Structure 1
């Protein structure tokens, strides 16, 4: 690690320097370290930036409580990658493939015009009141990208192969579950006189709502994976329509907004990862840069101090509003065009996802050398953004 803060109830262990954290994220990390049920220490990844209640790029282990906002509103958000057997792809063919993907994968607030086959939906096993309420709507949203930093990217790997990477989450079903249980947590905390920092309302393990949230959260994690799988299937079909000889292998999936029971430092605890990826020893993962920089396929080193975790990306260096106001549209477009990337920066409103709004991915990777080993570096060729 690069730094440790010892002024709070628990240490805050940083994989970047304290002075490299924005003040809002630092304050949120201090709030986590003073929670009465927080365990051992707080881990902060090098891509960290301010979130709601808990910094993006943070890991919180707890005993006896779960925090909906420490999972986040996009429950199960994550990435998947797939290797093709292609070693090269001509730009005209790539443009044709991207055009088909845009027609078959809705982006932003858009959804499918008809419900998708229920075979793509996770099986409902538990008492899931909010999932039941949102299920029919979710049939129109499975296989859709969403907005923000979500993407479909075609990449050229250092292993000599063309790769596909997709970043998306649980869409409105996850958002609704997250907000429903966060509201319940806030109400119950107030009724019990619990004083908790802003946006860190919690559900005790002995509460009737603990299992309800836990079951619905994990359904949303499964839905997010199903969502990515269906988009990957549509992307594969786009490839095979233009390049019938293509084959696919080595599917990798990693969520980075979730909570789960794990063993750490000899105890069973609830590990919340918000914008952080699990990186057990030998476990595959993905760390994307921006649409103008490299991404990486990695294997975890199982570092105990990070709760066996690593960053989930490069992390923002400026807010979306700041990026749209201050970045130069033509400069950002030229930077991507000069690199030969079929990019998604068309209007000033797209600048919130411009490469300059993100941290230097090479610096982020250097800061977490003790957490992961790079297996394949991936150069962007074409990008669809939400």
Structure 2
């Protein structure tokens, strides 16, 4: 018998689905050559399709039978309608972010959620999206920059030093802060690099050298280190600070290349194991009862601790330059997932992708823009927002639109007139590319109390070197 009639198309016509089984059967038939008649082949193909177990003991078709008996990955179905969720500052939120949140609330694992007033469209969960799930973790629900956070050091130094020593402070930022691909020639060591996870989890082990080389530095984009004035306006505060004005350092950055690599690895892994409809594919999750889910949980927490270590080194360098120790420090993640409890005492996994934890009594920092104030806040513990608040002002322009539509000279004049000096940065981070921070804060009065403000004065961001020179 010449078996060249048994093509992939012929086998599919016998009722076999597209996939590996086609190749398995072609190999089996090719190896048989003239041993079987055409009618025998037709019979076996039909019988194999109907009862593959029978052929597990037949060496000729064993591999084909095993392939047919593998579990079929079915596309997971979303809920017909999204579960209810609260939207804060709805008038200022783009349609794309609302649609993304609605898709997230249709996930079978979704339990509750909220959309913060600074929300805008992202990948998977929108930036400013809060999603609580049951025993599941969504890597893109945490975000690519795992553990991205704010950190503020407050000094018992008069804010007049900003004008009196402006050039010194600018030089301090240039010499002691690194952004984007630029790192320190001699990075400091840190105990986080001694974590056993760098030995125990393969994907993390491969990232140790990158983590060691980038520690103490900041990412590009909207990340910054800046000097400014903190004003404490609440006499009763957990910082034990008197009302008044203080010199402060504020930084915003995350887990650098290590966090991005962890996010990409486990997102691909989740998508391979969690087959969702196209519109929800970036919301693929890992079950926390699985080895992969536990691995990601450990990796995420390591990335968060690493982000904190980077901030601490940034602030240590500034403290050395100032020759003073801070009298208070505040920090908080806003790209992370936490194990918390809902109103009924059930454990939930709360993803805050660009959202600030605002549980009752929890302190946090919500920055504005490079010219507008940021806010030191105390959470009210509002379960309607899943104990969350915004993580900043939120964009009203994409980076591309800002670059293409804003005028550099006008932006520069605006920043100068606000009494702010910027080292680095670009039009994509111009103040007018963001929402009005006062409107955002007004939309979340039920979520946080304001105990202080921070006004930027000297801002260092990622940018071309010609903008980094001291005048």
Question: How far apart are the structure 2 equivalents of 1:305 and 1:90?
Answer: 41
Correspondence 1:270 to 2:355: no
The correspondence for 2:179, drawn from 82, 98, 107, is 107
1:11 match: 84
Quote the offset at 1:340 in angstroms.
Answer: 1.6
Task: Report the TM-score when normalising by structure 1.
Answer: 0.91
1:137 match: 210
The correspondence for 2:255, drawn from 156, 162, 170, is 170
1:384 match: 460
**Aligned partners of 2:229 and 2:246 also within 8 Å:** yes
1:243 match: none
User: SS at 2:101's partner residue?
Assistant: helix
Correspondence 1:299 to 2:378: yes
2:119 match: 48
1:236 match: 319
Structure 1, unaligned runs of 5 or more: 1-6, 241-245
Question: How far apart are the structure 2 equivalents of 1:323 and 1:300?
Answer: 33
- CA RMSD after TM alignment: 1.8
The correspondence for 1:95, drawn from 167, 176, 180, is 167
Question: How far apart are the structure 2 equivalents of 1:16 and 1:133?
Answer: 42
**Aligned partners of 1:189 and 1:195 also within 8 Å:** no
2:468 match: none
1:316 match: 395
Correspondence 1:123 to 2:201: no
1:4 match: none
User: SS at 1:381's partner residue?
Assistant: strand
Correspondence 1:259 to 2:341: no
**Aligned partners of 1:333 and 1:345 also within 8 Å:** no
Residues 97/352 of structure 1: CA separation in 2 closer, same or farther (3 Å cut): same
User: SS at 1:107's partner residue?
Assistant: coil
Q: Which has the larger radius of gyration?
A: 2
Question: How far apart are the structure 2 equivalents of 1:374 and 1:155?
Answer: 18
The correspondence for 2:428, drawn from 352, 358, 374, is 352
Give the structure with the higher percent strand: 1
Question: How far apart are the structure 2 equivalents of 1:9 and 1:157?
Answer: 41
The correspondence for 2:135, drawn from 64, 69, 73, is 64
Cα deviation, 1:104-138, whole Å, max 9, x if unaligned, reads 22112212223431436363358332221111121
The 10-residue stretch of structure 1 (193-202 or 354-363) with the greater mean CA deviation from structure 2: 193-202
Cα deviation, 1:306-325, whole Å, max 9, x if unaligned, reads 11111111011110010011
Cα deviation, 1:83-106, whole Å, max 9, x if unaligned, reads 111122142512212212212221
Cα deviation, 1:199-236, whole Å, max 9, x if unaligned, reads 11111233220111111111001000001111111111
**Aligned partners of 1:120 and 1:230 also within 8 Å:** no
Cα deviation, 1:154-195, whole Å, max 9, x if unaligned, reads 1112231111111000000000000000011111124xx777
Question: How far apart are the structure 2 equivalents of 1:378 and 1:90?
Answer: 14
1:3 match: none
1:224 match: 307
**Aligned partners of 1:122 and 1:223 also within 8 Å:** no
Residues 42/319 of structure 1: CA separation in 2 closer, same or farther (3 Å cut): same
User: SS at 2:165's partner residue?
Assistant: helix
The 10-residue stretch of structure 1 (97-106 or 278-287) with the greater mean CA deviation from structure 2: 97-106
2:297 match: 214
The 10-residue stretch of structure 1 (24-33 or 167-176) with the greater mean CA deviation from structure 2: 24-33
Question: How far apart are the structure 2 equivalents of 1:152 and 1:113?
Answer: 19
The 10-residue stretch of structure 1 (270-279 or 154-163) with the greater mean CA deviation from structure 2: 154-163
Cα deviation, 1:54-100, whole Å, max 9, x if unaligned, reads 11111100013210000001000000111111122142512212212
Question: How far apart are the structure 2 equivalents of 1:315 and 1:344?
Answer: 22
Structure 2, unaligned runs of 5 or more: 1-79, 232-243, 463-471
Q: Which has the higher contact order (CA 8 A, sep 6+)?
A: 1
Task: Report the TM-score when normalising by structure 2.
Answer: 0.75
The 10-residue stretch of structure 1 (124-133 or 49-58) with the greater mean CA deviation from structure 2: 124-133
Quote the offset at 1:33 in angstroms.
Answer: 0.9
